[in-house]
Homo-oligomer: A and B are copies of this chain.
Amino acid sequence: MPRIAIIDVGSNTAKLIALEYRAGHSWRQLDELRAVVRLSSGLEEGGALRPRPFARGLAALRTFASYAAAIGADDVVATATSAVRDARNGPDFVVAAGALGIELQVLDGAEEARIGALAVANGLGVRDAVSLDLGGGSFQLAEIAGRRWSRGASWPMGAVRAHERFLRGDPPKPKSVKALRSATRAAVAAWRAGAPPPVFVGLGGTVRNLANVHQKRVGYPLDLLHGYRLPVDALASLAEDLAGMDAARRAELPGLNRDRADIIAAGATVVAEVATSLGVSELLVSGQGLREGLFYPFLLPDAPEHLLDDVRTFGVLNLMRQYHDDPVHNAHVRALALALFDGLRPWHSFGEVERELLGHAAWIHDIGMAVDYYRHEHHGQALALGRALPGFDHREQVLLALLVRYHRKGSPGVDGYASLLEPGDGERLRLLAGVLRLAEYLERGRAQRVTGVEVRAEGDGIVVWARSEGDVHLEVEAANLRRDLLAQALGRPLTVVGRDDVEAAA
């Protein structure tokens, strides 16, 4: 599989991610290197990168170049954003990077926003939105329409620069916070007026860190940032709290990244003020950003504009391929589960939304086998919640993980996730887990011997006929041993019969 190293020299942090991928098929992250370079530290408008930040940035690049060579990366993509772009001696930095063998592309604000929009479209599956990408040096606002970047602008007011330019004192003086808010408000007002956008997306390390602090505050039951919905009133009060503390106290806050303890108040103020100015009520966090946006052209070379055709299915298949790529068995369980779901429609009231979830759960039901056969349903639940699934909200991802958990055994419950779920999700889960379980045991031999199912009413009960072209004794017996969950969810008796039973009765 090809390997790629993607390097992004930001104003606060320089990062490298190493990925392994099969174009159009799957990818996984291999490694990450990170250096806090504070490149824009002391950078005045129209000024130059100062010697120490310049040297720190180059040292990070030297390490990254050495790493990329060591892992045999097939491609190295390296970009720099506002600090290098805006500094008078930015070109010197590019030349120095070139001497290390790194071809550094300096992105202009529009390119940066366009690449970020690609990450939002492929990572969140969002169609129409405004996105805010807040870095160390600048922030970008972009309008995304029909999954594509439509227009955007950039302001030199990233967390590091806003901190240095506006905030005076530690804790910052209220007047200086007020000035930063006004400047932010003015920037947004000059760029966009009118109705709030349908979705407001936030990108970048500051946004992720604010979301993390908020999750710790509310005791959020998942360890996922991508796809998190942060209410704007909570964001505003968090920004106020942070501006009221000194850096030392901020560093003690649960979830706060100590590297950012000084600059986070400025960053939080900008994010909250942008959201308020736009009139939105929540911020949707994107864990993907510039680096992922730079990667999609490699992953999807043939897709129009490198856009994923179906974000959710790609994410589910990628999860399956990463852990337990038994596509024949999984596809067969999926087909049986969907046929059962359809055949049982006279007895349940669920529709397309549930059918789609069931189909996704079937793809990934066995991923826990990558850990161990024993308790693989538990391992699978953990793997399904290990990373955010692109295009799903957290409630849906929890439902998928619980379907994995209960696909073989156990009595489905919402466990510790009740706060994320909706009324009716308990019944939803039991019906879908019951269907998936029956399908899984109809594929007990993993050899596609049950070729289809037919569902019929018989008296008060339901009979599931397993079509086959051979001995399906194993599958029919196994399915009958595990039919109770589905029968309970449907509120009536259910029996599975196979050809043998027909012959025996004849």
Contact = CB atoms under 8 A, between A and B. Distances in A.
Interface residues of A, number: 31
Interface string A1-43: 0000000000000000000000000001111100000000000
Nearest to A31: B373
A147 interface: no
A371 interface: yes
B32 A473 contact: no
A224 to B, nearest CB: 12
Contact of A473 (B28, B63, B374, B478): B63
B70 A373 contact: no
A67 interface: yes
A15 to B, nearest CB: 14
A473 B62 contact: yes
B63 A474 contact: yes
A32 B473 CA distance: 17
Most buried by B among A72, A383, A445, A477: A445
A63 B30 contact: no
Q: How many copies does the complex hold?
A: 2
A386 B373 contact: no
The winner among A66, A383, A477 for most chain B CB atoms within 10 A is A66
Contacts of A67: 444-445, 474
A72 B448 CA distance: 12
Contacts of A449: 70
A409 interface: no
A371 B371 CA distance: 8
Contacts of A471: 66, 69
Contacts of A32: 373-374
Interface of A: 28-32, 62-63, 66-67, 69-72, 370-374, 383, 386-387, 444-447, 449, 471, 473-474, 477-478
27 contacts: A29-B372, A29-B373, A29-B374, A30-B373, A31-B373, A32-B374, A62-B473, A63-B477, A66-B445, A66-B471, A66-B474, A67-B444, A67-B445, A69-B447, A69-B471, A70-B444, A70-B445, A70-B447, A70-B449, A70-B474, A71-B446, A370-B371, A371-B371, A371-B383, A371-B386, A372-B386, A374-B387
Given A30-B373, A32-B373, A370-B370, 5 more contacts: A66-B473, A67-B445, A70-B445, A70-B446, A372-B387
